Amino acid sequence: MRGTTHRANCANRFRLVAVVGLLSFALCFAAFAGQRIHIVPKFVAGESLSYQIDTRTANTGTTTSPIKNPQGATEFKQFTSLLVRLDVLSAEGGAQGATGRIRFRATYEKSHSISDSDAYDPQIDSIDERFNRLEGRSIEFTIEPGGEMADIKGLDEILSSRSDAEPILSWAKGLSSGNGFPRDGIAISQKWSNERPLTGTPLAGLVWRGESTYLRDEACGLSGATNDMCAIILTRFVITRHGSAHSDATPEDYRRNGLRTSGKWTGSGESLESISLASGMLASSTQHSVQDMDYEIVSASTGSRFHHTGHVATDTEIKLVPQPAPQP
């Protein structure tokens, strides 16, 4: 049972947990009666938008596995910087309060990663190389009405496996419909909550549970759009697990491979989004999250064990990059 990839990938797979909704506010707004705003994503074929995404991650922890490595890293830091251009290839209308099927092309105009640890780990070099290889490449994907990502093309030429794509594509999940906003719209000072499952972890039943508040409207402060007003939305969240602490935590894909998992995984954080009332697009976002994990993976056939404890702190800054004015 190989455990060497878990430590390095923990920081990447969940460094954007608060950013699971990276572009969830790339939305168009329609005014309702009273000061209520109804949020419905509307994308138009042919339009483009670009985001600068900078993420800093600090990961500390220890790993015990059948492969002894007394010089294994216990501290890992990573900085990633992405400039992603998102082109809308096609857009179908959806039911009221939801988007239809949207086809996107994402081009990584810039992609850079720098990592550091207190011991040599070839997996860390692989993570940096994976991000750096993205620059200049494009992928295409479809967001279904239910929010699922489908028909992904272009990954095979960039990455060796679909699991490597998780941290690279995590931002795109926020393009889905049903982003947790109340169906009847929102008003200043209103609070609402939502919950969604966390997948791809070694423990089943993990959920992201957030409470959002529409704080106020203020100037967006975007270059070239000084008069543009933005809605300011604060979201605080926790990561917890459904069910008893002693219940079986093994995900089905682990079980099929003859593995059993147990332990705990918790987290908390907040994000502050600035959303243009004129365009409905996310103007900026600052996000902070921390996660603590202590889990064990056991082979049912051999009894070999992989045990990991860790603490991950992540800070992410997202900015909408203004599009250049068309040439006369």
Both tokens of 74, joined, read: 């216990």
DSSP three-state, residue 127 = helix
Judge residue 35's burial from the number of C-beta atoms within 10 Å of its C-beta, 0-12 exposed, 13-18 middle, 19 or more buried: middle
Cβ atoms 20, 13 nearer than 8 A? no
The residues facing 90 across adjacent strands are 103
pLDDT at 146: 66
- CATH number of the domain encompassing residue 143: 2.30.230
pLDDT computed for residue 201 by the predictor? 87
User: Residue 327 falls within a domain, yes or no?
Assistant: no
Q: Rounded to an integer, what distance in angstroms lies between the CA atom of residue 261 and that of residue 245?
A: 12
Q: What's the pTM value of the predicted model, to 2 decimals?
A: 0.77
Residue 113 domain-assigned? yes
Q: Is 326 within a domain?
A: no
DSSP state at residue 323 = P
Residue 137 falls inside a structural domain: yes
Q: Which DSSP helix (H) or strand (E) runs through 126?
A: helix 122-132
Identity of residue 246: H
* Cross-strand partners of 126: none
Please name which of 249, 318, 319, 314 lies closest in space to residue 17, comparing C-alpha atoms.
Answer: 314
Q: 311 in a domain, yes or no? A: yes
Place of tokens 């603490």: 311
Domain membership of residue 258 as a residue range: 4-319
Domain count, the chain: 1
Residue pointed to by tokens 């002894």: 68
55/35 Cα distance (integer angstroms): 35
The answer to the question of residue 134 being in a domain is: yes
Quickly count: other Cβ atoms within 10 Å of residue 16's Cβ.
Answer: 25
Q: How high is the pLDDT of residue 288?
A: 96
In 7-158, beta strands by DSSP E: 28-31, 37-40, 48-64, 75-91, 102-117, 138-143, 149-153
**Rounded-to-10 torsion of CA 284, 88, 94, 179:** -30
H-helix or E-strand containing 294? strand 282-299
pLDDT of residue 328: 54
Q: Residues near 202 by Cβ (< 8 Å), separated by ≥ 6?
A: 6, 251, 254, 261, 263, 295, 297
Q: What is the pLDDT along the chain (328 residues), one digit of tens a residue?
A: 444 344 444 444 434 333 334 444 433 343 333 478 766 667 788 989 898 989 999 999 888 876 655 555 678 899 999 999 989 999 886 555 456 788 999 999 999 989 888 766 666 667 788 888 889 999 998 888 766 778 888 877 776 655 566 666 766 665 554 456 787 888 999 999 988 888 778 999 999 999 999 999 999 876 544 568 888 999 999 999 987 767 888 999 899 999 999 999 999 999 998 888 777 677 888 999 999 999 999 998 888 999 999 999 999 998 888 776 555 5
Task: With residue 8 as reference, give the H or E element that holds it.
Answer: helix 4-13
